[in-house]
Amino acid sequence: MPGKSGRAGRLTDHVGATGLRSVGEIAYMLSTATGNGVRMSVTLARIAVVAALASLLASCGESQQPTKAAPPPPSVTVSKPVARTIVDQDEYVGRFVAVDAVEIRARVSGYLDAVHFTDGQVVKKGDLLFTIDRRPYQITLDQARANLAQARANLGFTESDLARAQQLVRDRTISEQVFDQRTQAKRVAEASVAANEALVRQAELDFAFTELRAPVAGRIGDRRVSPGNLVTGGTGGNTTLLATIMSIDPIRFEFTFDEASYLRYERFAKAGNDPSAPVVATPVKLKLIGEPGFDHAGQIDFIDNAISQSSGTIRGRAVFENHAALFTPGMFGRVQVPGSLPYQALLIPDVAIGTEQARKFVYAVDAEDIARQKYVTLGQVQDGLRVIKDGLAAEDRVIVNGLTMVRPGTKVAPQEAPPPRTPVSEAE
């Protein structure tokens, strides 16, 4: 039996020399050994010894591997919401329009004699703009005055003639018919004086119309006719357009809004301190293209009396001061109209808000420094902060920095950040 014992020993040595074997390999080796005449009891004993040895070696190998330490909780910045009284704002796009827009047209015809302004100049009411050749109208005026003087001289003669006739008719020197004729002559002379006086006034008016003056203050456009050209005047539709004037201070801003907004504004106006107060006189704010904020203040001064059946909108108008001539008729702008009554709201930085499909959420850290997901209802942006209408409490610590390292239920290392400073709103 020494040969068989030698094989079993070599098997054990082979296992030890080649390292830890799998259970299938050990079973195959032992089955080969039993096939060479080793008894089953010895085989089973050796299997147990080899299995115990393999288990011991495996446990020793595992115990030698170093244990990895758990990572520290991520560091995040938290801040509490800001509580403020705010008013929602509705925004609309509109255009500026001039309060006064006048087309300069001549009332009398003639050749244009002179232009007394520079294109694009700001003019005052009454400034001289154009002069039409005055000589023909001066002649007409002189003739009318001469005719008036003649009529007045004739009237004086008829008055004295009638005075003499009154004494003669009492003395029966002239007949009643002659007296009536002299009376009639006096009346005709009076009518002639009145007619010539009207002609003089008309000639004076035409003569004055040869000077075209600015009817309103504002900025004038470019001249449409050069001196020396014939200008067609009058009150018809074929008169010559000379220039246009647009008033600039104050200036109006026109915009449209839907029927639902109109009803909402009416309810807000009636729910205020003065139930009879109309929507007009509501303060509004405006910004131009490229401006960061709504820095121009004005107020609504007109709302149309009917809603358009084609678009379902109604026209509104606000008025703004324009001392610096910044606004120009036709310019685009965005206007903010108060869209709610004042209410208490919580505000947080917009970067703290996450998106999950159609829902918005924030991470709030609880008393055990565990990040909890809270779904919120968003409002508008006020002074750089997002209004939270629902889903958040004033004492919640909201994560505002480090969101990429946070998952629901994650333990974090919060660092308190001071609440953001925002300007005090008008509602406060």
| Nearest to 57, CA basis, from 109, 17, 104 | 17
Average pLDDT over residues 9-30: 49
CA dist 64 and 67 (Å) reads: 9
Residues constituting the chain:
428
Q: What is the pLDDT of residue 174?
A: 76
Q: Which pLDDT does position 382 carry in this prediction?
A: 80
> Which residue would you say has higher pLDDT here, 342 or 70?
342
The mean-pLDDT minimum among 197-201, 326-330, 345-349, 381-385 falls in 381-385
CATH 2.40.50.100 is right for the domain spanning 102-246: yes
- Strand pairing category for 211-213 and 397-401: unpaired
CATH superfamily for domain 251-338: Efflux pump adaptor protein, beta barrel domain (2.40.30.170)
What's the pLDDT score for residue 357? 83
> Cβ contacts of residue 121 below 8 Å, gap of 6+?
219, 220
What is residue 361's predicted lDDT score, i.e. its pLDDT? 92
Q: What is the pLDDT of residue 18?
A: 47
Separation between Cα atoms, residue 302 and residue 318, nearest integer Å:
7
Q: Which of 18, 57, 21, 59 is nearest to 30 (CA)?
A: 21
Average pLDDT for 116-144 = 95
- Three-state SS for 396? coil
pLDDT, greater one: 394 or 253: 253
Task: Please say if the pLDDT value at position 426 is more than 80.
Answer: no
The enclosing H or E element of 75 equals strand 75-79
Give the alpha-carbon dihedral of 194, 200, 203, 204, to 10 degrees: -120
pLDDT band at 319 (very low <50, low <70, confident <90, very high): very high
Pairing label, strands 332-338, 283-287: antiparallel
Q: Give me the residue spans of the domains in the chain.
A: 2-64, 77-85+342-416, 102-246, 251-338
Q: What is the pLDDT of residue 46?
A: 59
Q: Would you say residue 104 has pLDDT above 80?
A: yes
Q: Quick one: how far is CA 411 from the chain centroid?
A: 43
* pLDDT, position 391: 87
What percent of the chain has a predicted confidence (pLDDT) above 90? 44
Q: Give pLDDT, residue 1.
A: 43
For residue 23, the one-letter residue type is: V
pLDDT recorded at residue 314: 94
Other C-beta atoms lying within 10 Å of the C-beta of residue 387: 19
Q: Taking 60 as the threshold, does the pLDDT of residue 6 lie above it?
A: no
pLDDT digits (tens, 9 = 90+) for 203-222: 999 999 999 999 999 999 99
* Per-residue model confidence (pLDDT) at position 274: 55
Kindly indicate the confidence band of residue 318, based on its pLDDT and cuts at 50, 70 and 90. very high
Write down the mean pLDDT value for the chain.
82
Cα–Cα distances (Å) from 166 to 13, 177, 188, in that order, read 174, 12, 18
Q: Extract the tokens encoding 38.
A: 């080793």
Helix, coil or strand: residue 377: strand
Rounded Cα gap, residues 337 and 334, in angstroms: 10
Helices 40-64 and 23-35: angle between axes, nearest 10 degrees: 160
pLDDT of amino acid 405 = 86
Q: Is 60 helix (H, G, I), strand (E, B) or coil?
A: helix
64, burial (CB in 10 Å: exposed 0-12, middle 13-18, buried 19+): exposed
User: Is pLDDT above 90 for 36?
Assistant: no
What pLDDT is recorded for position 52? 55
Which residues fall within 8 angstroms of residue 418, CB to CB, at 6 or more apart?
A: 79
CATH code of the region 77-85+342-416: 2.40.420.20
